[in-house]
Amino acid sequence: MLNIDLNGKRALVAGVADDGGFGFAIAKALAEAGASVCVGTWPPALNIFLNMLERGKMDASRTLSSGSLLTFEKIYPLDAMYDRIEDIPEDVRTSKRYKDVGDCSINGVGERLVADFGERPLDIVVHSLANGPEVKKPLLEVSRGGYLGALSASAYSLVSMVQRWGPLLRDDGSFVSLTYMASERVIPGYGGGMSSAKAALESDTRTLAFEACRVNTISAGPLASRAASAIGIIEKMVEYVSENAPLTDKLTAEEVGRVAAFLSSPLASAITGNTVYVDKGYHAMGMAVPQTTG
Ligand SMILES: NC(=O)c1ccc[n+]([C@@H]2O[C@H](COP(=O)([O-])OP(=O)(O)OC[C@H]3O[C@@H](n4cnc5c(N)ncnc54)[C@H](O)[C@@H]3O)[C@@H](O)[C@H]2O)c1
């Protein structure tokens, strides 16, 4: 039988703070395939996440097909805005959510992985995070800071991870990230420079595939995750895609999780530098489907 076998592999999924987004579904799919999974969680969301885990609030979604619960080997505080501890501004470092988490920079998480598991601790890295401080503003109104903030959190973070965590990968290791078609087509409402950040992420995926290691990005259809709800129009986006895509059932995070597990597996050993659409085929459409009324 041809199956996705990730036994003996270790994954780090960066961008998990609840059970509603792509990162959680990817972590679960990787665990279903046999990988041990560590996650990176944004410090402002860390305590709520740990509390929810502890109080069993996510037990239903953590249940694997074997009946056991998805467990994270480690949960690392991670702020992907910062490459090294020195980059974290003093006021952030000493603030309530950061003062007890230690070095949550990308470099710091790499050092912790090596301390916990040895020199080359990883096989799979998943970049499942994005942030655009001015996402609700149209590009025409976005400030320089808002634009660069979106690029920094959502695109440069991948470059920095490949720089710092690439050397921690064992042979045949790979990266996968999440992008959105606003990079190449206009999605009204997906503002704040986030469309530019996704374009950069896709372009960097190609260049990093040449320069560094196997790396792909999944262009996912809309999902009402916590991050997407911040955009303010996610329900409309989900509805629009299900009305106009070739496949009309709504995209689930699990469907994206399975593709990420495949791309991270030896079965995908010849796929790199790719933007892989997991969007019910919506990207292929050139015209909205006329809606029947009544
Ligand atoms: N939901 C959608 O409709 C959709 C569609 C296509 C692509 N995506 C992409 O999928 C990825 C995951 O998003 P999601 O929609 O599943 O939402 P999500 O809320 O599950 O994930 C986003 C995560 O990013 C984390 N984060 C934000 N800033 C961070 C930082 N500076 N450092 C570390 N972590 C940080 C948040 O805490 C959160 O856990 C993102 O790249 C997003 O752009 C989402």
- Tell me the DSSP string of 168-205: GEEEEEEEEEEE-GGGTS--TT--TTHHHHHHHHHHHH
Q: For residue 78, which atom of ligand 1 is closest to its CA?
A: 33
Q: How many Cβ atoms from other residues are within 10 Å of residue 111's Cβ?
A: 15
Contact 85, 103 (CB under 8 A): yes
Tell me how far the alpha carbon of residue 162 lies from the centroid of ligand 1, in angstroms: 18
The whole-angstrom distance between residue 86's C-alpha and the CA centroid of its chain comes to 25
- Which residue bears the tokens 């994005």? 130
Contact 27, 61 (CB under 8 A): no
Cα distances (Å, whole numbers) of residue 18 to 88, 162, 200: 24, 24, 26
Cα distances (Å, whole numbers) of residue 242 to 9, 39, 235, 294: 35, 31, 11, 18
Task: Please list the active-site residues.
Answer: 180, 190
Cα distances (Å, whole numbers) of residue 105 to 71, 124, 226: 23, 19, 23
Tokens coding 172: 């045949």
Residues 225/227/230/234 CA torsion (nearest 10 deg): -40
Query: Over the chain, what is the mean pLDDT?
Result: 97
Contact 226, 21 (CB under 8 A): yes
Distance CA 198, CA 157 (A): 12
Contact 122, 11 (CB under 8 A): yes
Largest alpha-carbon pair distance within the chain?
64
Q: Region 260-276: what's the mean pLDDT? A: 98
The protein residue whose alpha carbon is closest to atom 12 in ligand 1 is 128
Residue among 47, 101, 129, 164 to mutate when testing ligand 1 (max atoms within 8 A of CB):
129
Distance CA 157, CA 162 (A): 9
pLDDT attached to residue 292: 73
Pocket of ligand 1 (CB under 6 A): 15-17, 20-23, 42, 45, 78-81, 128-131, 153, 178-180, 220, 222-223, 225-228
- pLDDT tens, 205-250? 999 999 999 999 999 999 999 989 888 889 999 999 999 999 999 9
Tell me how far the alpha carbon of residue 16 lies from the centroid of ligand 1, in angstroms: 8
Tokens coding 266: 């030896």
**pLDDT confidence tier of residue 260, bands split at 50, 70 and 90:** very high
pLDDT attached to residue 294: 54
The protein residue whose alpha carbon is closest to atom 9 in ligand 1 is 178
Distance CA 100, CA 84 (A): 17
- φ, ψ for residue 148 (rounded to 5)? -70, -30
Q: Region 84-110: what's the mean pLDDT? A: 98
Distance CA 40, CA 133 (A): 20
Residues in the chain: 294
**pLDDT confidence tier of residue 88, bands split at 50, 70 and 90:** very high
pLDDT attached to residue 228: 92
**pLDDT confidence tier of residue 293, bands split at 50, 70 and 90:** low
Residue 97 has pLDDT above 70, yes or no: yes
pLDDT attached to residue 233: 87
